[in-house]
Structure 1
Amino acid sequence: MSGAPSNVADFTPADRREHLRMLEALLFAATEPLDIATLAGRLPQGADVEGLLGELQAAYANRGVNLVKVGGRWRFRTAEDLSFLLRRDAVEQRPLSRAALETLAIIAYHQPVTRAEIEEIRGVSASKGVLDVLMETGWVRMRGRRRTPGRPVTYGTTPEFLDHFGLESLRDLPGLDELKGAGLLDSRLPPDFSVPTPSELPAADEDPLDGSELDGEDGD
């Protein structure tokens, strides 16, 4: 009796090798990371997608490109120790201002978070221009509305944020010491300060945005 999961069919070794080739081709040609559901929809029904991904990841572990999981999706990426070879070809990105970096850090760690909450944490007014810049980078999105008077918009990070910073999920965000070292937190924080735990799931007091709001309505 096969020990494969119930949704995985029994295939011959030759079939599995062909599935591995197909998976490799899909990931190589993709312009953005692909999730398991998308890959399963393009491979023969019953293919062992998770097992194949693990096998392919192991095969590329010591190659010039690696198969990595970022934000729950899979993609090929230049091996980290070889990234210096591509620096001259990389598109130069305008550095974010300190205000934008602080705001991005607050959103990443406190999401879902409103503009008023960002201002309270930073201790200064949050310029709408800063939020606009972060949304233009593709790293921040309007994710919902708080069930409080005025129905303020809540902000959160995007899969592109995880991809850019090489994070598999929000659980992989840097800890307190790394944030201090990067200058994103004041080194004179109270001794009892702790880094909050963000959530990608809707909060209990948060409603998702409707289609018209996602299509471009300005946030609060």
Structure 2
Amino acid sequence: MSDLNGEPDELERGLEATLFAAEEPLTIDQISAHLGDCDKSLVRDGLQALAHHYENRGVRLVERGKRWHFETAADLAHLLRREKEQVRRLSRAATEVLAIVAYHEPVSRAEIESIRGVQTSSGTLDVLMEAGWIKLAGRREVPGRPVIYATTPDFLDHFGLGSRRDLPGIDELRASGLLDPVDDAFEEAMSAGTEENEGKDVAEIGLEHQCEAGAEGLEGHNPD
């Protein structure tokens, strides 16, 4: 491809074509390389301009976990939805583990168990990895070098998060009704006799509820 530096209109057309044809979300480095090592600052400016162009259209250009891709506008999802029966269900244990990984990543299985106060089966982690929401993120540099886990771009995409900085805090969870009343959730988290929530904070408990609500991709009637 010819050099696109200094040609904003052609650059945006090149970006649009590249992302439209891509089989998966792309980083700025990948896009720059595809466009003949185009200046990365120009690529970012072009992406921002395209995102603005598409913000009120049927498809939108979004950044999730530093990767860019087109997705259907959320308010039009009902036009594209197809229902199918799914027999697998995301368990309460899986939503707890997902919330812990999201707020504490990278985190080992032993650390997850310490926060939950109960053992975590390998099957629970397998379910979340099969769903594409968590991944192996290396090993902790401590004796035994345990495997550590982190969330994936698919996790951010499913829950509509640009990055982990967008994870809901206590105020947001309270406003959305997931901590209603928040005092009850706090008392539940702090209760010495509550094995499920031992060591977890209020935001984690709220995210568990959000994970349960957002786990439609794994239970019940789900969109393709």
What TM-score does the superposition give when structure 2 sets the normalisation length?
0.72
Q: After superposition, give the CA deviation of every residue in 1:146-174 in whole Å (9 maximum; x if it has no partner).
A: 23332221111112211222211111112
1:23 aligns with 2:15: yes
Pairwise CA distance, 1:10: 6.1
Q: CA deviation at 1:20?
A: 1.3
User: How far apart in 2 are the matches of 1:145 and 1:90?
Assistant: 38
Deviations 1:118-177 (A, max 9, x none): 111111110111011111112111212223332221111112211222211111112235
Structure possessing the higher relative contact order (Cα contacts under 8 Å, 6 or more residues apart): 2
**How far apart in 1 are the matches of 2:104 and 2:98?**
10
State the AA in 1 paired with 2:101.
Answer: I
Alignment of 1:29-40 (within 5 A): 29-40=21-32
What's the counterpart of residue 73 of structure 1? 67
**Aligned equivalent of 2:219:** none
Structure 1: gaps of 5 or more residues: 1-7, 197-220
Q: Which of 104, 108, 132 is the matching residue for 1:110?
A: 104
Percent identity for Structure 1 against Structure 2: 52
| One-letter amino acid of the structure 2 residue matched with residue 158 of structure 1 | T
Matches within 5 A, 1:1-220: 11=6, 15-47=7-39, 48-88=42-82, 94-176=88-170, 178=173, 181=178, 187=185, 188-190=188-190, 193=201, 195=203
What CA deviation, in whole Å up to 9, does each residue of 1:49-72 have, x standing for no partner?
Answer: 111111111110110111101000
Give the aligned length.
185
Match of 1:206 in 2: none
**5+ long unaligned stretches in structure 2:** 192-199, 205-224
Cα 1:45–1:114 change in 2 (3 A) is closer
> Which protein has the bigger helix share?
2
Q: Distance in 1 between matches of 2:15 and 2:107?
A: 38
Change (3 A) 1:26 1:65: same
Distance 2:87 2:24 in 1: 19
Match of 1:5 in 2: none
Alpha-carbon shift at residue 82 of structure 1 (Å): 1.2
Q: Counterpart of 2:189 in 1: which secondary structure? A: coil
> C-alpha separation between the residues in 2 aligned to 1:71 and 1:91?
30
Instruction: Using the TM superposition, give the Cα deviation of residue 87 of structure 1 relative to its aligned residue in structure 2, in angstroms.
Output: 2.0
Query: Relative to 1, partners in 2 of residues 1:46 and 1:34: Cα closer, same or farther, differing over 3 Å?
Result: closer
Q: CA deviation at 1:25?
A: 0.9
CA 92–74 in structure 1, closer or farther in 2 if over 3 Å, else same: farther
Kept after mapping to 1: 8 A contact 2:189/2:202: no
Query: How far is 1:115 from its partner?
Result: 1.0
Q: CA RMSD in A?
A: 3.1
CA contact (8 A) 2:133 2:152 kept: yes
Q: Which amino acid aligns with 1:178?
A: L
